[in-house]
Amino acid sequence: MAEIDIAPAFGAELKDGYKPVNAWVTNGISWLEDIQSFYRERSAIEKEYAQKLNALAKKYFEKKARKQSQLSVGDTPTVTPGSLESASMTTWTVQLSTLENRAQEHDKFSTQLISSLAQPLQNLQNRYEDLRKHHADYAAKLEKERDGCYADLKKTKGKYDSVCQEVENKRKKIESSFDSSKNKAQSAYAQQMADMRNMKNTYLIAINVTNKQKERYYHEYVPDLLDSLQAVNESRTATLNKLWTTASGLETEMLTRSTKLLEHLTGEIPRNNPVLDSMMFVRHNASHWQDPLDFTFEPSPVWLEDDVMANDAQSKTFLMNILSKSKGSLNELRREYDAKRREVEGAKRVRQAIREGKDRRDEVDVVRAMFYHQENLHEAERRMFTAEVEVST
């Protein structure tokens, strides 16, 4: 297997690639069921000795051939992998090849296959699928937030257009009014003009907020989600490596005649660095991607204006009220954001310590905690950025 120069980051490499990444991670988690089934069937076959082992190996080579591309590069790769296969697939091949060379098995080993491999795999599959669904719910939440932001901007634009239309109606009313009611019509027109300018400023602020939230969605929220899905998948692979190592250890203890084969398998498994599968997936799924265009000010069809903020006395008062409110909450929001960010960084350090063998905590629980902190950080960040944009607009 190739050495790793730079570990890929899904968020940086795949941009708005949630659907293929989620599908790939889902396939990997579902694949645990195949491996679990393998060990359960292996347990039954072990009781019938060598003649059944060859049949089992053949069956799972066929399964692997059907799913090799899907598990290596996903459902819809942008580059055809040809005969290449992922690191996990290569490691899986080594195990099946080892199985073909096994000839004798014992009842104790058959029992161990269930208690030490199949059942833990079933539990792991359930836990990782639950974690993946949490990510899917969060992805839907992010998309809903983004679409809601777009919808709010559209509503604000509609209100602005409506106010502009009302200004035009008031202007026409002045033209058609008699001298006795003209002063009243002019006063109503002036008030409507003030309302229109305030609405315009509100619309401009909404545009800036929407654009900033859009930027965060495509450059931070979704990339962070993809990085977290990558962490889930790499954690799954690392855990699977541990179980594979356990399987090879059990075989080594049971079958002295297969010692050399099992030592070879044990040596291959640690080379299946979780990052290798991610690297191959990125290389075969990366595509050209551009940011969606920013939102810009759209003049009302009946009231042509530029995108300059209204700065008359009433408008300034309106803006100062917004500025005062946003400034008042900004420092607290920044403190909250910094606190949440430190929580995320702390969880990441714990996960790294686990990967380096310096911490014995459950990595699934740590990844779950890290994702929980990232959700809280996201909420704090959205509120802080909204306030900052309102202040700077």
Q: Is 124 exposed, middle or buried (0-12, 13-18, 19+ CB in 10 A)?
A: buried
Would you state the pLDDT for residue 75? 83
* 286 located within any domain: no
In this prediction, residues 112-123 reach a mean pLDDT of 94
Q: Please give the residue that has the higher pLDDT: either 245 or 83.
A: 245
Would you state the pLDDT for residue 165? 93
* 6 located within any domain: no
Q: Predicted confidence band at 203 (pLDDT cuts at 50, 70, 90)?
A: very high
Would you state the pLDDT for residue 179? 62
Single out the residue in 252, 278, 304 at which a domain terminates: 278
* 285 located within any domain: no
In this prediction, residues 336-356 reach a mean pLDDT of 82
- Whether residues 103 and 187 share a domain: the answer is yes
Pick the most confident of 87-101, 114-128, 182-196, 319-333. 114-128
The three-class DSSP label of residue 11 is helix
Q: Which of 179, 202, 127 is nearest to 363 (CA)?
A: 127
Q: Which of 380, 345, 350, 379 is nearest to 365 (CA)?
A: 350
Q: Examine the pLDDT at 311 and tell me if it is beyond 70.
A: yes
How many other CB atoms sit within 10 Å of the CB of residue 224? 22
Would you state the pLDDT for residue 354? 78
* 291 located within any domain: no
Q: Which domain holds residue 348?
A: 312-392
* 4 located within any domain: no
101 and 260 in contact (C-beta within 8 Å)? no
In this prediction, residues 221-234 reach a mean pLDDT of 93
Percent of the chain with pLDDT over 70: 95
What secondary structure, in 3-state letters, does 329-360 show?
HHHHHHHHHHHHHHHHHHHHHHHHHHHCCCCC
In this prediction, residues 295-322 reach a mean pLDDT of 76
Q: Predicted confidence band at 4 (pLDDT cuts at 50, 70, 90)?
A: low
In the numeric block, the tokens 């790793």 are attached to 4
Q: Please give the residue that has the higher pLDDT: either 147 or 371.
A: 147
Q: Examine the pLDDT at 207 and tell me if it is beyond 90.
A: yes
Ranking 12-16, 72-76, 168-172, 254-258 by mean pLDDT, the lowest is 254-258
* 284 located within any domain: no
In this prediction, residues 359-368 reach a mean pLDDT of 81
Q: Examine the pLDDT at 307 and tell me if it is beyond 80.
A: no
Q: Examine the pLDDT at 177 and tell me if it is beyond 70.
A: no
Q: Please give the residue that has the higher pLDDT: either 340 or 214.
A: 214
Number of domains in the chain: 2
- Whether residues 19 and 134 share a domain: the answer is yes
* 212 located within any domain: yes
- Whether residues 101 and 226 share a domain: the answer is yes
- Whether residues 66 and 213 share a domain: the answer is yes
- Whether residues 95 and 19 share a domain: the answer is yes
Domain CATH number, residue 227: 1.20.1270.60
- Whether residues 93 and 221 share a domain: the answer is yes
In this prediction, residues 233-247 reach a mean pLDDT of 94
**How far apart are the two ends of the chain, measured CA to CA in Å?**
53
Would you state the pLDDT for residue 304? 62
d(CA 316, CA 202): 12
Instruction: Indicate the pTM of the whole model.
Output: 0.67
* 49 located within any domain: yes
Mean pLDDT of the chain: 85
Would you state the pLDDT for residue 325? 76
- Whether residues 106 and 252 share a domain: the answer is yes
Would you state the pLDDT for residue 138? 94
- Whether residues 183 and 256 share a domain: the answer is yes
- Whether residues 233 and 332 share a domain: the answer is no
- Whether residues 188 and 141 share a domain: the answer is yes
The amino acid at residue 285 is N
Would you state the pLDDT for residue 24? 95
d(CA 299, CA 307): 8
Per residue in 80-112, pLDDT tens?
877 678 899 999 999 999 888 876 667 788 889
Q: Is 363 exposed, middle or buried (0-12, 13-18, 19+ CB in 10 A)?
A: buried
Would you state the pLDDT for residue 105? 64
d(CA 364, CA 9): 19
- Whether residues 252 and 114 share a domain: the answer is yes
- Whether residues 23 and 139 share a domain: the answer is yes
Would you state the pLDDT for residue 303? 72
